[in-house]
Structure 1
Amino acid sequence: MNRTLSFSILTALIVFLIGPFLIIVAASLSAGDTLAFPPQGLSLRWIVKVFTVESFRDSFIMSMILAVGGTFVALLLGVPAAYALSRYKLPFGEAVSTVVTLPIIVPGIIVGLALLRYLVVPFSFSIGVALFLAHTALVLPYTVRVVSSSFNNLRSDMEEAAVLLGATRLGAFFMVVLPNIRAGILAAFILGFVTSFNQVPVSLFLSGPGVRTLPIDMLSYMETTYDPSVAALSALLALMSIGIVFLAERFLGFSRYV
């Protein structure tokens, strides 16, 4: 493969990946009253309008609660699970690892329908509780996989040395193991946060009157209004996600864990 062809393929790939985002950014700066590309002049009024729509503010707060709270609970469950899977030869350990990663493998629509049918309906959970449980379950596989990578890269003899020096097993975990995998835990939190915040299929099944995540609220908004404010909000969210991932890669070496 010659250099020209390689460069052409790389350029086409970049355009394919970045092109939709650039179109959304351009549409969000349109001065027109309808969503269109190319933009009808340039204006910041739709970006300003995003902050004045009450439903966007409420759903943004809901998405933040679900993303932060769900990821935090997933870490509380995922860190011990990752430790057990990486440090001990558990019975059916491979099967457990497969089950834990199922929410990643199974399409989100199927997961959302299953949670609605077998969790929400039989137990009559409220919409908020159902969404919280669903987002926690979706983020859990990411936390287990990322933190497991950190445990696998950490020498086990460091923990054993702490135990030989008089620390309890639990004390060695908190004083030696956790400080050495904090970058992996933070990387898992960031990945889980972005995944939860941008989640659509599962939230679509579990949202209800007055309780909706921001992506679902954006879909509902587009059913009745076709102005560029949704494009403006999409651009802002994309920039937020890119910024979070960029900072994680810059300071944590994000690619080492995912």
Structure 2
Amino acid sequence: MSRLTIWLILGTTLTFLIGPFLIVIFAGASAGETLTFPPQGLSLKWYAKVFTVESFRDSFALSMFLAIFGTLTALLIGIPAAYALNRYNLPGAEAIRTIVAAPIIVPGIIVGLALLRYFVVPLDVTITMALFVTHTALVLPYAVRVVSSSLNNLRADMEEAAVILGCTRFQAFVKVVLPNIRGGILAAFILGFVTSFNEVPASLFLSGPGVRTLPIDMLSYMEITFDPSVAALSALLAFMSVAIVFVAERLLGFSRYV
């Protein structure tokens, strides 16, 4: 294969991957009053407007709450689950792993509809609580898988040595296991945060008046307004996600865990 062919294939791939991102960036920088591409002149006024829309601020706060605390809750459940699956010969371990991975395998629309029908309506829970449970459930498989990957790389005899030297199993877990898998835990948190923050299908069923995640609020905003502010907000969110993953890769070697 010639060098020219290689560069053409590489250029086509990069254009396919980065092209939509560049379109959104420039569409958000349009000086016009409607969302168009190519932009009608260049201006940052729509990027500035993003911060003045009250619904965007409220939904951003909700999305941050769900992403942070939903992921932390998933880790509180997922770390012990991953440890049990990794260190003990549990009956039906493969079936358990399949069940834990179900929120990834099953389309988010089905998850949202099921939770709405059999959790929200019968129990009459609040929208915020429903979203919190949903985002925790959707992030849990990532927590279990990433932490399991870290545990696979940790020698079990290190923990056994701590027990022989006088630690209880719990003390060995806290003093030996957790410090040695902290990179995997942080990687799981970042992956869960990005996944939760950008989640749409399940949140679409569970959001309600005045309580919407940012992606759902953006969809609702576009139903009544077609100005470039949504494109500007999309570009800012894309930059945020890329920056988080980039920093995680530089500090943790993020690609080792996912």
Task: Give the whole-Å Cα distance in 2 for the aligned partners of 1:19 and 1:146.
Answer: 30
Q: How much has 1:124 moved relative to structure 2? A: 1.2
Q: Is 2:102 aligned against 1:102? A: yes
Q: Is 2:154 aligned against 1:158? A: no
Counterpart AA for 1:203: S
Task: Give the whole-Å Cα distance in 1 for the aligned partners of 2:129 and 2:212.
Answer: 12
Q: How much has 1:183 moved relative to structure 2? A: 0.6
Match of 1:6 in 2: 6
Match of 1:44 in 2: 44
Q: How much has 1:3 moved relative to structure 2? A: 3.3
Task: Give the whole-Å Cα distance in 2 for the aligned partners of 1:12 and 1:5.
Answer: 10
SS in 1 for 2:133: helix
Counterpart AA for 1:237: L
Counterpart AA for 1:211: V
What TM-score do you get using the length of structure 2 for normalisation? Answer: 0.99
Equivalent positions of 1:3-42 (< 5 A) are 3-42=3-42
Task: Give the whole-Å Cα distance in 1 for the aligned partners of 2:115 and 2:6.
Answer: 45
Task: Give the whole-Å Cα distance in 1 for the aligned partners of 2:104 and 2:6.
Answer: 32
Counterpart AA for 2:226: Y
Q: How much has 1:106 moved relative to structure 2? A: 0.9
Match of 1:54 in 2: 54
CA deviations on 1:75-108 (whole Å, 9 max, x unpaired) are 0000000001111110100000000001111111
Q: Is 2:204 aligned against 1:204? A: yes
Match of 2:129 in 1: 129
Q: Is 2:175 aligned against 1:175? A: yes
Q: Is 2:59 aligned against 1:71? A: no
SS in 1 for 2:91: coil
Identity of counterpart residues, as a percentage?
74
What TM-score do you get using the length of structure 1 for normalisation? Answer: 0.99
Find runs of 4+ consecutive structure 1 residues off by over 3 angstroms. Answer: none
CA RMSD of aligned residues (A): 0.7
CA deviations on 1:95-140 (whole Å, 9 max, x unpaired) are 0000000111111111111111111112111101000000000000
Task: Give the whole-Å Cα distance in 2 for the aligned partners of 1:199 and 1:107.
Answer: 12
CA deviations on 1:29-66 (whole Å, 9 max, x unpaired) are 11000001011111110000000000000000000000
Task: Give the whole-Å Cα distance in 2 for the aligned partners of 1:2 and 1:95.
Answer: 48
Q: How much has 1:7 moved relative to structure 2? A: 2.3
Aligned residues: 258
SS in 2 for 1:212: coil
SS in 1 for 2:166: coil
Task: Give the whole-Å Cα distance in 2 for the aligned partners of 1:2 and 1:108.
Answer: 43
